[in-house]
Amino acid sequence: MKRRRNAVLGCVVVLAVAASGGVVSSAAHADEVELIANGTFDDGTAPWWSTPNVRVTGVDGRLCAEVPAGTVASYDAIVGLDAVPLVAGERYRLTFSASADAARQPRVLVQLPVDPFTPYVEVRPQLGATPVDVRHTFTSTVDLPAAQVQFQLGGAAEAWTFCLDDVSLLRGVGPDIHQPDTGPRVRVNQVAYLPHGPKNATVVTTAVTALPWRLNNARGVAVATGRTRPRGVDQSSGQNVHSVDFTRYVAKGAGYTLVVDGETSHPFDISSAAYERLRVDALKFYYTQRSGVAIREDLRPGYGRPAGHVDVAPNRGDRAVGCAPGACAYTLDVTGGWYDAGDHGKYVVNGGISAYQLMNLWERTTLSRTGEPRRLGDRNLALPESGNGVPDVLDEARWQQEWMLKMQVPAGQPLAGMAHHKVHDVAWTGLPLMPHQDPQPRQLYPPSTAATLNLAATAAQAARVFQRHDRTFARRNLAAARAAWAAALAHPAAYAPAESVGGGPYDDTEVSDEFYWAAAQLYLTTGERQFRTYLLASPLHRADVFEPGGFFWRDVAALARLDLALVPNGLPDRGRIRASVLTAADRYLATQSHHPYGVPYAPAGNVWEWGSNSAILNNAVVLAAAFEIGRQERHRTGAIQAMDYILGRNALNQSYVTGYGELFAKNQHSRWYANQLDMTLPHPPNGTLAGGPNSNIQDPVAQERLAGCVAQFCYLDDIQSWSTNELTINWNASLASVASFVADQDDGRG
């Protein structure tokens, strides 16, 4: 077929595409050179070649290849082209259109033409009957005068037909700036508003005066009308926007749409049902993150897998893991726990806040006047432990807490009582890679004060929340917490380094907040004077610990403050502590009401942090806590409204939770939910939160495709964008906390 543009071995002029939605477009490049000979197949298929088992024909100006049955490796059947030159440092764009008469996923490679056939570029398009247009931009890392382009078609038991057209490899292209398809300009919570909860939307428009809006029911009948509120240019998106408030409409139903400025929003419900599902799904996320145990297919259809890291080859851990040579004289059994994120590492620092937030979700629900603990009871998460009489959320948290205990340096060893900072592979692995197939050796990293205090905090908390369910476990945790506390006091400045290979650093050199958090948990559990004295003397006790950017694994003083405010205790200044939460909540509310997308998050300099979705949700956790303390409607409303942003009321018009909303994140960075790379693997389970917009775009894919992005636009639903689109145990904990709070409010008046 003829290419849509003149691109055969010469210069190509590409018109600049107009920027839309705050994203800068690629500039025209006058120096593009086409490197593919006869990529249109208008004159037969030469000089393309194939392995002898593949019959290639020219069909209607395309190349079609009949692949025989019974191939095993991808390279058992190939269609290829030789003599494609690559120059190191040059940027290239590979494009083609391909189809298959069955669901197939070939490997498309630009590679060394001779042994060892090193691939420098790999694309894995998912093909079916309708031709798919594939586009991949890359910068060559090698000089290769005669590389090969290969379409590797082997690996299917059945025979199939592959068709290819419009193959192009351009040298000298400009950056491939992502143009998000942001759909209708009316932005809503694509899942559901609570019947008696807040109902707000945002409209992207050039209009500067109020516009009429109309709320339609599923039959398209207008059920409410009003006028928008012009809000000017929103800093977090760079867009001119209006907001819509249709809170007063309270009738339950499905399939509502909001019509403004000639645009119709994605449909949504007015109902609380989705939040009951979401609180469960957000918590079910953890079972499939478990390490050291087979995931049961009957409990998670589509997600069953063998146990990871139990020393079955090719795994090399975690039953007896040692330190770096010379760093310790013992090995530890550190099987179990949750994989932190899309990698196979396990980290005490981040593991701590995650286990804490799950136990805290339970504890706060039992203390809350709107809390519905029976919804978080035994058997609600379909776990192997379901039916043991213990709330499933605690069973899940215990899985991690048991592992936290294993990371403690044993008595009799140097640094006894401290916790190793982390355990992970000694080198980074690629994607996809199932946990049980990870071949890297594992290593324990040196104990750190921060990890030790995470252990002290969660173990003290576990001693409290498990007391009713398992006294022996509670006692074991309290002993571990005391030993960790003493060890941290003795080694108050053992910091994990910021440099890290094979896993994340979770570095932190300011641990006064971890001391405060651990002391708070120990005090709440024991009531002992030593911890009370420590708390009252800590400068953090009177400081403003609620940052605009929210609490997170490195900044945990707010966790202490929230628990000291919510969990009954005998501190003399409890009234002031509780009031400080209300003050902070009112600040988040002020931020939210100024924000035309209703986000209670305004980080310094409009720099959205790695994992911003979790920061936004954690600020909603503070709002929810304030509602518990003061019973003021505005705090409940603020917490509920924060969810709108996560579920679609945002500049990208998408939900960040897999399985929720019309358009949702589903390619989060993970080595085993790697469907984008291998269609036999699943997407992340429903209820998985993506990290979200990250102004600093640290990964190369985001750097290429999001260059120049404005805050909310710094996100890509691509499995390789680990700095904007990972999944983690701490971020899902924020989601579970807020989803559970929203579900507890029932129709909004809970």
Catalytic residues: 717, 726
Q: Give CA–CA dist 660/281, Å, rounded.
A: 10
Closest separation in Å from C-beta 551 to ligand 9MR: 12
Whichever of 23 and 677 has its CB closer to ligand 9MR, that residue is: 677
Q: Answer yes or no: are the C-beta atoms of 69 and 53 closer than 8 Å.
A: no
Q: Among the candidate windows 274-282, 376-384, 672-680, 720-728, which touches ligand 9MR by CB under 6 A?
A: 720-728
The verdict on 425 binding ligand 9MR (CB under 6 A) reads: no
Whichever of 450 and 487 has its CB closer to ligand 9MR, that residue is: 450
Q: Answer yes or no: are the C-beta atoms of 657 and 646 closer than 8 Å.
A: yes
Task: Looking at residues 233 to 262 of the shown chain, list those that interact with ligand 9MR (rule: CB under 6 A).
Answer: none
The verdict on 340 binding ligand 9MR (CB under 6 A) reads: yes
Reduce the DSSP state of residue 483 to 3 states and report it: helix
Whichever of 525 and 724 has its CB closer to ligand 9MR, that residue is: 724
Reduce the DSSP state of residue 2 to 3 states and report it: coil
Closest separation in Å from C-beta 605 to ligand 9MR: 16
Closest separation in Å from C-beta 74 to ligand 9MR: 29
Whichever of 302 and 497 has its CB closer to ligand 9MR, that residue is: 497
Reduce the DSSP state of residue 350 to 3 states and report it: helix
Q: Among the candidate windows 196-204, 337-345, 541-549, 620-628, which touches ligand 9MR by CB under 6 A?
A: 337-345
The torsion region of residue 30 among left (phi > 0), alpha (psi -120 to 50) and beta comes to alpha
The only residue of 32, 269, 343, 514 in contact with ligand 9MR, by rule CB under 6 A? 343
> Pairing between strand 78-86 and 49-50?
antiparallel
Q: Give CA–CA dist 543/672, Å, rounded.
A: 42
Q: Among the candidate windows 73-81, 185-193, 523-531, 721-729, which touches ligand 9MR by CB under 6 A?
A: 721-729
Q: Give CA–CA dist 420/323, Å, rounded.
A: 9
Closest separation in Å from C-beta 291 to ligand 9MR: 13
Whichever of 234 and 425 has its CB closer to ligand 9MR, that residue is: 425
Whichever of 619 and 653 has its CB closer to ligand 9MR, that residue is: 619
Closest separation in Å from C-beta 407 to ligand 9MR: 16
Q: Among the candidate windows 37-45, 219-227, 271-279, 336-344, which touches ligand 9MR by CB under 6 A?
A: 336-344
Reduce the DSSP state of residue 517 to 3 states and report it: helix
Whichever of 153 and 341 has its CB closer to ligand 9MR, that residue is: 341
How is residue 132 annotated by DSSP? E
Closest separation in Å from C-beta 721 to ligand 9MR: 11
H or E element at residue 716: none
Q: Which of 557, 530, 527, 554 is nearest to 542 (CA)?
A: 557
* Cβ neighbours for 254, distance < 8 A, ≥ 6 positions apart: 218, 267, 269, 271
Closest separation in Å from C-beta 614 to ligand 9MR: 8
Q: Which of 558, 632, 645 is nearest to 598 (CA)?
A: 645
Q: Among the candidate windows 269-277, 330-338, 341-349, 539-547, which touches ligand 9MR by CB under 6 A?
A: 341-349
* Cβ neighbours for 707, distance < 8 A, ≥ 6 positions apart: 24, 175, 177, 697
Whichever of 525 and 668 has its CB closer to ligand 9MR, that residue is: 668
Q: Give CA–CA dist 327/414, Å, rounded.
A: 10
Whichever of 343 and 392 has its CB closer to ligand 9MR, that residue is: 343
Whichever of 551 and 588 has its CB closer to ligand 9MR, that residue is: 551
Binding mask 154-183 toward ligand 9MR (x if CB under 6 A, else -) reads: ------------------------------
Closest separation in Å from C-beta 723 to ligand 9MR: 7
Q: Which residue is nearest to ligand 9MR (CB)?
A: 504
Q: Give CA–CA dist 223/215, Å, rounded.
A: 6
Q: Give CA–CA dist 30/11, Å, rounded.
A: 7
Task: Looking at residues 505 to 524 of the shown chain, list those that interact with ligand 9MR (rule: CB under 6 A).
Answer: 505-506
Whichever of 56 and 451 has its CB closer to ligand 9MR, that residue is: 451
H or E element at residue 574: helix 574-594
Q: Which of 40, 78, 77 is nearest to 60 (CA)?
A: 40
Closest separation in Å from C-beta 628 to ligand 9MR: 27
**81-84: long-range contacts at Cβ-Cβ below 8 A with a sequence spacing of 24 or more?**
81/36, 81/37, 81/47, 81/48, 81/49, 81/148, 81/149, 81/167, 82/47, 82/49, 82/113, 82/146, 82/148, 83/146, 84/35, 84/36, 84/110, 84/146, 84/147, 84/148, 84/149, 84/169
CA torsion 118-123-129-132 (nearest 10°) is -140
The verdict on 718 binding ligand 9MR (CB under 6 A) reads: no
How is residue 231 annotated by DSSP? E
Tokens 């079972």, residue?
Answer: 287
The verdict on 349 binding ligand 9MR (CB under 6 A) reads: no
Which backbone phi and psi does 639 adopt, to 5 degrees?
Answer: -65, -40
Task: Looking at residues 433 to 472 of the shown chain, list those that interact with ligand 9MR (rule: CB under 6 A).
Answer: none
Closest separation in Å from C-beta 699 to ligand 9MR: 10
Closest separation in Å from C-beta 24 to ligand 9MR: 25
Closest separation in Å from C-beta 506 to ligand 9MR: 6
The only residue of 549, 611, 692, 750 in contact with ligand 9MR, by rule CB under 6 A? 611
The verdict on 610 binding ligand 9MR (CB under 6 A) reads: yes
- How many chain residues bind ligand 9MR (CB under 6 A)? 12
Token pair of 744, please?
Answer: 């507890």
* H helix intervals, 441-511: 449-465, 471-490
Whichever of 608 and 627 has its CB closer to ligand 9MR, that residue is: 608
Q: Answer yes or no: are the C-beta atoms of 675 and 667 closer than 8 Å.
A: yes
Report CA 63 to chain centroid distance, whole Å.
39
Reduce the DSSP state of residue 213 to 3 states and report it: strand
* Cβ neighbours for 656, distance < 8 A, ≥ 6 positions apart: 613, 646, 647, 664, 665, 689, 690, 692
Binding mask 476-505 toward ligand 9MR (x if CB under 6 A, else -) reads: ----------------------------xx
Q: Among the candidate windows 73-81, 132-140, 340-348, 578-586, which touches ligand 9MR by CB under 6 A?
A: 340-348
- CA triple 530-532-535, angle to 5 deg: 110
The only residue of 64, 79, 241, 341 in contact with ligand 9MR, by rule CB under 6 A? 341
Binding mask 116-155 toward ligand 9MR (x if CB under 6 A, else -) reads: ----------------------------------------
Whichever of 711 and 742 has its CB closer to ligand 9MR, that residue is: 711
Closest separation in Å from C-beta 85 to ligand 9MR: 37
> Pairing between strand 11-12 and 49-50?
unpaired
The only residue of 239, 728, 737, 745 in contact with ligand 9MR, by rule CB under 6 A? 728
Token pair of 218, please?
Answer: 């599923």
The residues of the shown chain that bind ligand 9MR, judged by CB under 6 A, are 340-341, 343, 345, 504-506, 610-611, 722, 726, 728
